[in-house]
A and B are shown apart, each in its own frame.
Chain A
Amino acid sequence: MGMIGQHLLNGLMQGTIYGLVAMGFTIFFGVMNVIKFSHGDVLTLGAFGGLVAVWAANALGLSVPLQFIVALCVAMALTAVVGAGISHFLIMPLRNAPPLNMLLMTMMVGTAIREAIRLFFPNGTNPQRFPELLPAGGFNIGPSFFRTDAIILIIAGAASIGAVYWIINHSKFGLAMRAVAEDTETARVMGINFGRIIPLTFALGSITAGFAGMIYALYYSEINYSMGLLLAVIGFTAAIVGGLGNIWGAIIGGYLFAGLQTFVVAAMPSMSDYKNVFAFVLIIVLITWRPTGLLAERGSERV
Chain B
Amino acid sequence: MTPSSRTLARGPVWPLFVAVAFAAVALTALVLIENQKLLGAALAITAAFCFCAARFGGVAATEVAASENPWLLRGLITVASLAVIFVLRDDNFGLLMLATVLIYATICLGLTVQMGYAGLTNFAAAAFAGTGGYTAAMLGQQGGLPDALVLVCGGLVAVFIGSLLILPVLRTRGHYGALTTMAFGVMFNVFLDANDFFGGPQGLKLPGINLFGWDFTNDIHIFGLVLSSYVNYVILTGILTALAMIFVGLLDRSWVGVWFDVVRLDETAASVFGLKIAYWKVLAFTIGNFLAGLMGAVYAKMTGFIAPANFTFGDSLVMVSIVILGGIGNRWGVLPAALIVVLLPEKLQFIQEYRLIFYAVLVIAILTMRPDGLVARRVRKLRAEASA
Seen from chain A, the residues whose Cβ lies within 8 Å of a Cβ on chain B are 29, 35, 90, 93-94, 97, 99-101, 103-105, 107-109, 111-112, 114-116, 119, 229-230, 233, 236-237, 240, 244, 273-274, 276-277, 280-281, 283-284, 287-288, 291-293, 301, 303
12 A-B pairs in the complex with CB atoms less than 8 angstroms apart = A35-B175, A90-B368, A93-B368, A97-B367, A101-B371, A108-B363, A111-B314, A112-B360, A116-B357, A283-B183, A284-B183, A288-B168
Across-interface contacts of A93 in B (CB, < 8 A): 368
In angstroms, Cα B387 to Cα A280, docked, is 53
Question: Interface 1/0s, chain B 28-43, versus A by CB < 8 A?
Answer: 0000000000000000
Is A111 within 8 A of B371, CB to CB?
A: no
* Chain A residues closer than 8 Å to B361, beta-carbon distance: 108, 112
Is the beta-carbon distance between B360 and A109 smaller than 8 angstroms? Answer: yes
Binds A, one of B7-15, B58-66, B185-193, B236-244: B185-193
A257 CB → nearest B CB, Å: 11
B176 close to A292 (CB less than 8 A): yes
On whether the beta carbons of B183 and A119 are closer than 8 Å, the reply is no
- Give 1 or 0 for each of B292-318: 1 = CB within 8 Å of chain A CB: 000000000000000000000110010
Partner of B179, one of A97, A116, A276, A287: A287
Name the residue in A103, A109, A111, A291 with the highest tally of chain B Cβ atoms < 10 Å from its Cβ.
A111
For B194, list chain A residues within 8 Å (CB).
273-274, 277
Q: How far is the CB of B322 from chain A (nearest CB, A)?
A: 11
Interface residue B165 (Cβ < 8 Å from any Cβ of A): yes
A244 to B179, CA, bound (A): 12
Complex Cα distance, B173 from A237, in Å, reads 14
Query: Shortest distance in angstroms between B155's beta carbon and chain A's nearest beta carbon?
Result: 23
Nearest 3 pairs of A and B residues by beta carbon:
A273-B194, A112-B360, A115-B357
- Give every chain B residue within 8 A of A114 (Cβ-Cβ): 356
- Name A275's closest neighbour in chain B (CB-CB): B190
On whether A274 and B176 interact (CB within 8 A), knowing A90-B368, A93-B368, A104-B321, the answer reads no
Whether A284 contacts B176 by the Cβ 8 Å rule is no
> Judging by beta carbons under 8 Å apart, are B360 and A115 in contact?
yes
The answer to the question of B115 belonging to the interface, with a C-beta cut-off of 8 Å to chain A, is: yes
List residues of chain B with CB within 8 A of the CB of A101: 324, 367, 371
**B364 in contact (CB, < 8 A):** yes
Which residues of chain B are within 8 angstroms of A284 by Cβ–Cβ distance? 165, 168, 180, 183-184
- CB of B371 within 8 A of CB of A97, answer yes
Known: A230-B186, A277-B187, A301-B268. 14 other contacts (CB 8 A): A100-B115, A101-B324, A103-B178, A111-B317, A111-B360, A237-B183, A273-B193, A274-B194, A276-B187, A277-B194, A280-B184, A284-B184, A287-B176, A287-B179
Question: A119, B321: Cβ atoms under 8 Å?
Answer: no
CA A29 – CA B178 in complex, angstroms? Answer: 14
CA distance A170 to B74 in the complex (A): 66
Within 8 A of A (CB), among B344-375: 353-354, 356-357, 359-361, 363-364, 367-368, 371
A94 touching B175 in the complex, CB below 8 Å, given contacts A230-B186, A283-B183: no
Chain A residues near B356: list those with CB within 8 A: 111, 114-115
A99 to B, closest residue via Cβ? B174
Q: How close is A56's CB to chain B, nearest CB, in angstroms?
A: 26
- Which residues of chain A are near B115, meaning CB under 8 Å? 100
Chain A nearest CB, measured from B288 CB (Å): 15
A233 in contact with B360 (CB, 8 Å): no
Chain A residues, CB < 8 A from B371 = 94, 97, 101
A50 to B363, CA, bound (A): 30
Closest to B314 in A: A111
User: How far apart are the CA atoms of A30 and B363 in the complex, in Å?
Assistant: 26
Could you tell me if A240 and B363 are in contact, using CB atoms closer than 8 angstroms?
Answer: no
Give the residues in chain B near A35, CB-CB below 8 Å: 175, 178
Q: How far is the CB of B181 from chain A (nearest CB, A)?
A: 10
B272 to chain A, nearest CB (A): 9
A105 contact set on B, CB distance < 8 A? 363-364, 367-368
Bound-complex Cα distance A230 to B193 (A): 15
Interface string of B48-60 (1 = CB under 8 A from A): 0000000000000
B337 touches A (CB below 8 Å): no
Query: Could you tell me the distance in whole angstroms from the C-beta of A224 to the nearest C-beta in chain B?
Result: 16
Q: Is B131 an interface residue (CB 8 A)?
A: no
A293-B184 in contact (CB<8A): no
How far apart sit A237 and B187, CA to CA, in the bound complex (Å)? 12
Contact flags B249-278 to A (C-beta < 8 A → 1, else 0):
000000000000000000010000000000
Q: How far is the CA of A97 from the CA of B357 in the complex (A)?
A: 23
Residues of A within 8 A of B190 (CB): 274, 276-277, 280
Q: Residue of B at shortest CB range from A38?
A: B360
- Which residue of chain A has its CB nearest to the CB of B165? A284
Would you call A104 and B324 a contact (CB within 8 A)?
Answer: yes
Q: Which residue of chain A is the closest to B312 with respect to CB atoms?
A: A229
- Most chain B beta-carbon contacts within 10 A, residue among A94, A273, A280, A291: A280
The listed residue (A111, A236, A276, A291) touching B171 by CB distance below 8 A is A291
Within 8 A of A (CB), among B197-228: none
Indicate whether B87 reaches chain A with its CB closer than 8 angstroms. Answer: no
